[in-house]
Amino acid sequence: ALMGAVPVFSQVFGVTTAGHLTLAQRVLGLPVSLIGSAVSDVFYGKAAEIIRSDVKRLPRFFMKTFLGLGTLAILLGIGVWFLAPSVSRFIFGSEWHQAGLFMKIMAPWMAAQLTISPLSRFIFLTPYPWLKLIYDVGSLIVISLPLWISFKDSSVALWSISILQALLYLLYLGLMLVLLHLMQKS
C-alpha cells in the first residue's frame, strides 16, 4: 500500500520527487512490513482458532492485539515525525533531505497501517470478506488523487494522501469492529 503512490508522483511531480518518495517508502515500509507480516500471521491463526473454540474470547484478543500494535505504531510514528528529516540527511546526504520530510509526512499513514493492517485478515474469517473491497477502492482513489487534483507541490499532495489513507484505515477498523460485534451476536 505504501508503494502505490510512486508511479502517480513520478507522472505528476517528476522522477526526482518519485525517487525521494521511493526512498521514504522503502525506509518506512521495512519495519511496517516485517512487524505487520509477523503479527498478521500469528493473529490470523489464533483468531481462527478462537472462532472455532469460543468466539466470545475474540473481542478481547482483537483489542489486546490492536492496543499493542497501536502503542508500538504511535511510538514509531512519533520517532519518525521528529527524527526522520535530520536522520535521513545524516545517513543519505543532504540531497535526500526531501525523503526525510516525506517520511515525516507519511508518519500518520505508516502508524495507521502498522496498527490496522495486521488485523485486516480478520475480515476473511467472517461471512463478509467482500467488504474489504470498500477499503481497497477507497485506497485506490486516494492514491490517485494527484492525477485528479492539481496540487501545487508534492508535499501537499503527500499530506493529503497520508491523512486520507490513515482515515481509510480507521474506517476499515470500524468495519472490523462492527463485524466483530455481529459475530458475537450470532
pTM: predicted TM-score of the whole model, two decimal places: 0.91
> 106 with 158: CB under 8 angstroms?
yes
Please give the grid coordinates belonging to residue 29. 515500509
Euclidean distance between CA atoms 113 and 69, whole angstroms: 10
For residue 177, count other CB atoms closer than 10 A to its CB. 15
**Residue 57, φ and ψ in degrees, nearest 5:** -80, -15
Express each pLDDT in 106-141 by its tens digit.
999 999 999 999 999 999 999 999 999 988 998 888
Q: Are 159 and 142 in contact (CB under 8 A)?
A: no
In this structure, which amino acid lies at residue 122? F
Check if the beta carbon of residue 106 is closer than 8 Å to that of residue 2. yes
List the chain domain ranges.
2-185
pLDDT along the chain (186 residues), means of 10: 77 94 95 96 97 94 98 98 95 95 97 97 94 90 84 91 94 95 85
